[in-house]
Amino acid sequence: MYTLFRTTFGEVQRSRNPKEVVIRNRSGSPAIVALLTVVLAVATSCTAVPDAGLLQAAELSRYAVLIVEVIANAPGYTSEEEIPNESITLLNNTQTDIDLVGVTISDEHGSWTIPSSVGDTILEPGEKWTVTGSTYNPSKDCFNAICLRNKGECLTLSYGARELDRWCYPQSGVQGETLRRLNLPAQVVTTSDLSIAFWGAAREVQGSCYQISVGETDILVDCGSFMNSGEYDDQVFEFAPSEIDGVIITHSHADHYGRLHYLFHQGYQGTVYMTEVTAELYLARLDDTIYYSSIPGNEKESVETAIRKSIHEVEYCSPVTVSAGITATFFNAGHIPGSASISLNIEADGEAYSVLFSGDIGPGYHPFLDPPDYAFMSQDDATVLVIESTYGDTVRDTSDGPYDAFWTGLAIAIEETELVVIPALSLDRTQRVLAAIGEGMEEGQLPPDLGIVVGGKSSCYLTEKYVEFQRSAQLASASLERRYRPYFSDEFWAESYLWPCFWTYTRGTNCKGWEDCDADFKNEYDIVVAPPGFGDSSLSKHLIERYVSDPDVAFVKVSWAPDDSPMGQLALVQGQPNATITIEGTTYPVEARLVSVSEAFSGHADQDGLVQYASALPHIDTIVITHGEYSSMLALKSRLSAELDGLEIVVPEYGKAILLGGSEDYAGV
Ligand SMILES: [Zn+2]
């Protein structure tokens, strides 16, 4: 048994045919296609040492392949993915040499990719090496950046790592012994097939980032943050940012754009395409995003300048050329203002592909937005759909009206407590909550003249941005209205509760951010809307710590939250006697009340909505499910399989790719 790992520069893809492994060059130049590497590391490297004879017995010798044997005497190496050696063949047909790129090894701390050359230094086969921690991380009591110490130099292993935690090595000085390589006659095929690699939102919600590769061209759809979700690092890219030719951002949520500044910092110099409203919402927070990033202080300004210059604003339904042969058309996804699904049309070597990326799909009853543009979709040529699945396992019942439960719960909380705290995302959720409160007050569902304050700098900025959009229409400026009208519903523009509602609240005297957290909220206000929705940072965390043990305070949960977040914990212990929650090691008795109405404000389609979306494409034959918990993905897959005949449905893992065209469809997932 051997262990097959992803290569440093290339991707190793397993096809549906278990006897085939497709290798694609990510180095970008056919002249150096020889940089392709297959790494066959020894699964139990402490003892087993394969030799050429064994490999030939596996019928590998008739193909071009670089075999790297790792004989490590550090204990504990385990295999990540075991593939019987007889099932491995390589698709190759061009004579060339293949050189050593690197070797990936795996132990209980994760996988490491060790490059064969770093700068001018080449690791020779047979050399001794030592893994050495170079950057000590006191909070984790380990070393983050691993370097390979060779001839006294520290060769930092800066690429190929998925995230810092996996590099967190408890000690320096682990000894390795031998790198040995074996060159066999080489046959490598270059292909103009289209591939889509998944660098996030793969069997998880966070980190949307899809790399579309065709010929010499690579573009990204989304470049989202993992939001500290644990497994991956926002600063580590497994492709070269400088070699990306264009970036498309679907909407202004950080899990779709939140790695963009690191992409620029690490060499990206191209254009970023997004709608005008997405650009405005993104840029409203860009200085904060960069300020709080780990980009060195003296480089922050140049990164921000480069990003601002790079943005190309696009309109819904107007095709834009992203790179030679690649055209993108954005259309309304109904998720948040400016949000788009992307229809990509790609031509390469006479082949035409049409792939649709859903981005996040709205629920269809958003008060500010129209539903997804099904009319556009009904005319689209896409045969492949990459679809989100956040609520792929949920069917909602909104037959009572979306806000009835919210108003009822809030009215009781206002009546029976002195302060209501509503943790909410800064963008869109805060504004929707405000609008719902405003509507409830107008319709007599809530007491009139409630004292409401929005906390948090970004919540206030963004709320004012909504006011600005709306004011553009109210000022009857034809040009402004033409700019913004396509992004909002008629209801948003109407003379309605939204306008005074936002205006009044955003001008609240304490609308400065959580530095005002010592305000006497209980005596000054009836309701505080505070970011973020999880309650795990910023003002909402402070308010939970301050008031969770106060029976005169109520918390209203208006969004999904992870079970271990403060709001998630509150939901779990709701109604239990002697309940407690723990925030950063401190335990708090729960005396405050909880009202949970998250369904009312979801920005995502439920399972019915996702099926409706997929069904709107007339030519679809393949669906790729991303951006959801794995259980949601499987639930959606099974529903789609039952309702739409003859579809190929795949659920890719992180780092895997699908390959379209030729005979290797859907390799790797
Ligand atoms: Zn989103």
Contact 344, 351 (CB under 8 A): no
Span from the CA of 234 to the centroid of ligand 1 (angstroms): 17
Nearest 5 degrees, angle CA 90-CA 92-CA 97? 105
Sign of CA dihedral 450, 456, 459, 461: positive
Span from the CA of 343 to the centroid of ligand 1 (angstroms): 18
Contact 22, 664 (CB under 8 A): yes
Give the span between the Cα atoms of 100 and 355, in whole angstroms: 35
Span from the CA of 656 to the centroid of ligand 1 (angstroms): 23
Span from the CA of 268 to the centroid of ligand 1 (angstroms): 24
Span from the CA of 436 to the centroid of ligand 1 (angstroms): 20
Give the span between the Cα atoms of 276 and 427, in whole angstroms: 16
Span from the CA of 71 to the centroid of ligand 1 (angstroms): 46
Give the span between the Cα atoms of 236 and 136, in whole angstroms: 18
Span from the CA of 362 to the centroid of ligand 1 (angstroms): 9
Contact 10, 27 (CB under 8 A): yes
User: In sequence order, what are the residues at sequence separation of 6 or more whose Cβ sits closer than 8 angstroms to the Cβ of residue 454?
Assistant: 430, 434, 460, 463, 505, 506, 508, 511, 529, 530
Among all chains, which residue has been given the structure tokens 């795996």? 106
Contact 595, 413 (CB under 8 A): yes
Listed residue (388, 144, 104, 110) closest to 231, CA to CA: 110
pLDDT tens digits for range 271-319: 999 999 999 999 988 988 999 899 999 999 999 999 999 999 999 999 9
The pLDDT, as a whole number, for residue 504 is 54
Instruction: Please check the confidence at residue 561 and state whether its pLDDT lies above 60.
Output: yes
Span from the CA of 476 to the centroid of ligand 1 (angstroms): 30
Span from the CA of 424 to the centroid of ligand 1 (angstroms): 14
**In this predicted model, which residue has the larger pLDDT, 129 or 594?**
594
Among all chains, which residue has been given the structure tokens 């809030």? 410
Span from the CA of 466 to the centroid of ligand 1 (angstroms): 17
Span from the CA of 72 to the centroid of ligand 1 (angstroms): 44
Span from the CA of 371 to the centroid of ligand 1 (angstroms): 15
Instruction: Please check the confidence at residue 24 and state whether its pLDDT lies above 50.
Output: no
> How is 158-213 classified by DSSP, letter by letter?
-SS-S-GGGG-BS-S-EEE-EEEEEE---B------EEEEE-SSSSSSS---EEEE
Strand 580-583 relative to strand 586-589, pairing: antiparallel
Quickly state the pLDDT bin for 657 (edges 50, 70, 90).
Answer: confident
Span from the CA of 335 to the centroid of ligand 1 (angstroms): 7
Span from the CA of 276 to the centroid of ligand 1 (angstroms): 16
Among all chains, which residue has been given the structure tokens 């979709």? 377
SS3 state at 64: coil
Span from the CA of 151 to the centroid of ligand 1 (angstroms): 49
Span from the CA of 253 to the centroid of ligand 1 (angstroms): 5
The pLDDT, as a whole number, for residue 618 is 95
Class of 404-601 in CATH: alpha beta
Listed residue (214, 219, 220, 213) closest to 192, CA to CA: 214
pLDDT tens digits for range 391-433: 999 998 777 777 888 999 999 999 999 999 999 998 999 999 9
Contact 650, 625 (CB under 8 A): yes
CATH 2.60.40 fits 7-180, yes or no: yes
Number of CB atoms found within 10 A of residue 349's CB: 11
Span from the CA of 173 to the centroid of ligand 1 (angstroms): 44
Domain residue ranges in the chain: 7-180, 194-395+603-663, 404-601
The single-letter code of the amino acid at 104 is T
What is the enclosing helix (H) or strand (E) of 5? none
Span from the CA of 627 to the centroid of ligand 1 (angstroms): 10
pLDDT tens digits for range 84-107: 322 222 222 222 223 333 444 444
- CATH superfamily, with its number, for domain 194-395+603-663: Ribonuclease Z/Hydroxyacylglutathione hydrolase-like (3.60.15.10)
Helices (H) and strands (E) in the chain, counts: 18, 38
Number of CB atoms found within 10 A of residue 173's CB: 10
The pLDDT, as a whole number, for residue 236 is 86
Contact 142, 169 (CB under 8 A): yes
Instruction: Please check the confidence at residue 610 and state whether its pLDDT lies above 70.
Output: yes
Span from the CA of 179 to the centroid of ligand 1 (angstroms): 45
Give the span between the Cα atoms of 257 and 606, in whole angstroms: 23
Distance of CA 286 to the CA centre of its chain: 18
**In this predicted model, which residue has the larger pLDDT, 142 or 384?**
384
Per the structure block, which two tokens stand in for 316?
């819904």
